[in-house]
A and B are shown apart, each in its own frame.
Chain A
Amino acid sequence: MSAILFDRIDEPGLNDIDTYERRGGYEALRKALAQPREGLLEELKASGLRGRGGAGFPLGMKASFIPGADIDKYLVCNADESEPGTFKDRELMQKNPHMLIEGMIIAAFTVDANRSFIYIRGEYVLQAEVLEQAIAQAKAAGFLGDNILGSGFSLDLVLHRGAGAYICGEETGLLDSLEGKRGNPRLKPPFPANQGLFQGPTLINNVETLATIPAIIRMGGSEYAKLGIENSAGTKLVSVSGNVQRPGNYEIELGMSSRDIIFDLAGGPDEGREVKFWFPGGSSSSVLTAADLDTTYDFDAMEKAGSMLGSGAIIVVDDSNSVVDVALTLASFYKHESCGKCTPCREGTTWTVKMLQRVQSGEATPMDLDIIASVQEQIIGNCLCVLGDAMAIPVGSLVAKFRPEFEAHIESARERNGLGITPPAASEEPVLSL
């Protein structure tokens, strides 16, 4: 397979516009500007590209929701990349910023938006510097600003740095943050495509999604769709981290075996260690075990396996780790990042952490596991945005799949604390239903 997003990504000077143009950069933009908007929309739809930010919503369909009316429209690039385990956008922005900028100009032209923003997480200092310079170069070359390449289309692009909040990756939280507010998600509908930034129709997409657009225009949508498999077209950047020997970003064709990604590409766990469980799509995805390693890596297969492709971040946990520690680290993260706007998430994450701390310290009984499980169930589907679910699903899956280990941990920790052996096994019914 030839690389598309990572094509010679380490070539020195690729972040410079001259090198990018020498390699054929901004050709797709010229091609796009010469086409009618409907034609471009058709290409995007034909590509079958599904959003790379987490939800996997088809790009072409989302773009088609933007109304044609003659009002101020916006394009926003979601470069918040805060999902634990995810670091693909970082490498793209740092090494090939013009590919993102070119994709954004084409996307903005397609939906007729004249203002665009890149919302980059505040911690990405180097990447923001690179992008700032690239934007200046693109402006100087006439790819941004008024009347781009004589097409009559104008576009302003502003790089906006966030300041550290995972919830600002959620699209409506991001929009509030971009408006200079606390990053609290909004109730949907209205969806951003109708009423987004400054109340205007807004197309919001992930870095990788937008950076793929030049390739789609260059190759043609239907040609791009031949990459990957049905329902999961194209190539995907996969961030592999945790207990593997060669952690990093890999570009794969969707539909590859997960085992090949984790073992052939990323080197698998250290000698003598085994995969205990793994998150296939960032820390918000339900965990899979060694038995699921042969699942192919694509949207449908991951859903069928009971998890999700998410942001394409594989976190591998080997058998040297305690499942209790992982669950607690996970829950503490979501507790910290909960924006506090709705109760099931704010309280649910807080209490899950407290209960897991009791499990860890040995004050819990197996009954607490039932309560933890039932709290997760109460959270799922009851929150304003999916941050609550993003904790409840993986934590719930850990408790469900590794319950004996949780119980053994509780027992040994209780004994260590001199609390005596555990009371008889918990009743079927959760005692406390919240």
Chain B
Amino acid sequence: MTEVTRFTHGSRIPGWDEPVDPTKAAAVIPDLANTPVPTELREEIQAEMAKYPVFRSALIPALHAAQRVHGWCSPEAIEQVAAVMGITPGEVAAVATFYDMFETQPVGSQAIYVCTNISCSLRGGPKILEAMRAAADGDADFNIRAFECLGACDMAPMASVNGEFVGPLTESDCAQIVADLKSGGEVLAAKQLRVRPCADQAGRVDGGQTTTSEVTQ
């Protein structure tokens, strides 16, 4: 697995240093009548568009939906979103390339984001990333990425496995995660964020009336 492609020239502007092809015709808004779009995807995007006073707001939700259907933001997926929303593929691609969660290359279906930001790296995040890659052993079905802070530094080092937050992870947990995913079972059930109690409550007595520091004083 190669290192996650952080744009090598910095920031979120891939392709700024590549020349345009002047012989290529400008892309037009694809005609919905001539663009095959899976019915469910079309209906989902249209439902999203109806939620906002200005339909363009539905672009990110539309890309989430298209990525779910296509596995990544493929040229085909982008074309379909553009056709349903009535905007150019360029506008769709511009947005798709800005956000980390949108895949602009084909990837495996099991998305594992290992946090390597500050609080996790203080607790071994980079080692977890390595162990996760070793556990997946090059299996193309696994999309293992180094990710920025996922907002769960209390369970550092942690990872998001198909959206489920798990931690604190040990290196041996990584093999378990991969095995759980392969068998289609729940991922590390005991280490999921959804079952984690709030740290604040442990120090409080009387249903949240007193803090630890008051008890110790």
Which residues does A use to contact B, with CB under 8 Å?
1-3, 6-10, 72, 81-87, 89-91, 94-95, 115, 121-126, 158, 160-166, 177-183, 198, 239-243, 246-252, 256, 260, 264-266, 283, 313, 315, 317, 321, 325-326, 329-330, 332-333, 335-340, 346-347, 349-350, 353
Contacts and interface: CB of A to CB of B under 8 A. Distances in A.
A179 B54 CA distance: 8
Interface size range on B against A: 35 or more
Contact of A182 (B9, B64, B95, B155): B95
B200 A6 contact: yes
Contacts, number: 227
B190 interface: no
Contacts of B203: 250, 265
Given A10-B198, A123-B113, A350 B10 contact: yes
- The A interface, classified by DSSP as helix, strand, loop or mixed, is mixed
Contacts of B51: 158
Contact of B119 (A9, A84, A180, A349): A84
A402 to B, nearest CB: 15
A81 B6 CA distance: 21
Given A246-B199, A346-B13, A350-B9, 19 more contacts: A6-B201, A81-B151, A84-B149, A90-B152, A125-B163, A125-B164, A179-B57, A182-B95, A239-B154, A242-B119, A247-B154, A248-B198, A265-B199, A265-B203, A317-B122, A325-B121, A333-B118, A336-B6, A340-B11
A161 B61 contact: yes
A186 B99 CA distance: 18
Given A6-B208, A91-B198, A180 B10 contact: no
A126 B148 contact: no
Given A123-B101, A260-B213, A325-B121, A82 B199 contact: no
Nearest to B168: A247
Nearest to A338: B11
Contacts of B150: 123
A125 to B, nearest CB: 4
A352 B213 CA distance: 41
A179 B117 CA distance: 29
B101 A87 contact: no
13 contacts: A1-B211, A8-B208, A9-B208, A94-B193, A160-B57, A162-B99, A178-B57, A242-B156, A249-B154, A256-B213, A264-B212, A335-B11, A338-B11
A265 B193 CA distance: 20
B181 to A, nearest CB: 16
A7 B206 CA distance: 11
B132 interface: no
B102 A163 contact: yes
